[in-house]
Amino acid sequence: MAGAERRRPYKQVARAQAQERTRETLLQAATEEIEKDGWKQASLESVAERAGVTKQTALRHFGSKEGLFDAVLRRTSSIVVKERAEAPIGDIPGAVANLMRHYERYGDVVTRLLPYRDAVVRVLGPNHRGSLARRAVDRGHEVHEEWVLSTFEPLLERVDEQTRQRRLAQLVAVCDVYMWKILRRDLNLSLTSAEAALVELIERLVEPDAPRPKRKSRSKPPSRAQPSVKDTR
C-alpha cells in the first residue's frame, strides 16, 4: 500500500508533463498552420493532424479554435518580445539586424493578417477588438512601438520634446513591417542590401539631431594691392 502511495505522485507528475508536451506540440502545429495558410484557413482538424493528436484532444486543451489561436498569439508575442529585447540600445546597424531577423521570420505572416485587421476596423469600427487578427496586429504595434522607444531614444536625448515625439513617430514608420515588405518582397533586395538601406534611412533621420562640430568661418582671401597710379602731370 505504501509503495502505491509513493508511485501516485510520480504518475501525476508524469501525466502533467505529458499534457504540457501535448499542449506545446499543438501550439507549435497551430503556429506552422497559420504561417502556411493564414489563420482563416487553418482549422482545428488540420492543427490536430499536424500535431499527431485528435481534434478532441485539441478541444480539451484549448476549448475552441479561437482559444487555441489566442494561446498562439500570447506565445508568439512572448517570443517576439524576448527576441526584440536582444537589440543593442543606440546601435543602429545592430538594431536593424535584429529587426530584419524578426521580419524574415514573421513578416509574411503579419502582412497577411493586416488586411483582415483593416477589414474588421472598417466593418465593426475601431473599438471592436473581438477579432483575432485585430488583436494580433494591435499587439504587434504595441511591441513595435515599445521596441523603437527603448532602442532609439538614447539617440534623441539632445532634442526638445516636440522634435523627439516626431522623430519617434518617424522611426516607428521607417521600421514598420511594410518597409521590410517593400524592400524584400516588392523590390527584391537581398537581406544585406535591405539592411543597409534601412540603416542609411535611420542614420539620415537621426543625424540632424546629433551634435555637429562647429564650422570654421571661411577666411576671406587677402585683398589685392591696388596698383599705384603715378601722377603724370
Beta carbons within 10 angstroms of residue 20's beta carbon: 11
195 has pLDDT over 70? yes
- State the residue for C-alpha cell 516607428: 172
Element (H, E) at 16: helix 2-37
CA-to-CA distance for 73 and 193, rounded, in angstroms? 31
Domain residue ranges of the chain, discontinuous segments joined by +:
20-78, 85-209
SS3 230: coil
Q: For the segment 19-64, what is each residue's pLDDT rounded down to a tens digit?
A: 999 999 999 999 888 888 777 788 899 999 999 999 999 999 999 9
Q: What's the pLDDT score for residue 178?
A: 94
pTM over 0.85: no
Q: For the segment 134-184, what is each residue's pLDDT rounded down to a tens digit?
A: 777 888 889 999 999 999 999 998 899 999 999 999 999 999 999 999 999
Q: What's the pLDDT score for residue 218?
A: 40
Question: Distance from CA of residue 178 to its chain's centroid?
Answer: 11
**CATH 1.10.10.60 describes domain 20-78:** yes
CA-to-CA distance for 233 and 225, rounded, in angstroms? 23
Q: What's the pLDDT score for residue 125?
A: 61
Tell me which residue of 97, 102, 89, 111 sits closest to 198, measured CA to CA: 97
3-state SS, 61-99, equals: HHCCHHHHHHHHHHHHHHHHHHHHCCCCCCCHHHHHHHH
Q: What's the pLDDT score for residue 226?
A: 47
Residue type, 132: L
CA-to-CA distance for 150 and 34, rounded, in angstroms? 30
Region 181-197: mean pLDDT is 98
Q: What's the pLDDT score for residue 172?
A: 96
State the pLDDT confidence band at 212, using cuts at 50, 70 and 90: very low
- Could you tell me if 210 and 155 are in contact, meaning their C-beta atoms sit under 8 angstroms apart? yes
Q: Worst-scoring range by mean pLDDT, 46-50, 51-55, 121-125, 224-228?
A: 224-228
3-state SS, 193-219, equals: HHHHHHHHHHHHHHHHHCCCCCCCCCC
For 226, which DSSP code?
A: P
- Grid cell for residue 182: 517593400
Tell me which residue of 129, 168, 121, 133 sits closest to 148, measured CA to CA: 168
State the pLDDT confidence band at 13, using cuts at 50, 70 and 90: confident
Q: What's the pLDDT score for residue 180?
A: 97
State the pLDDT confidence band at 227, using cuts at 50, 70 and 90: very low
217 or 13, greater pLDDT: 13
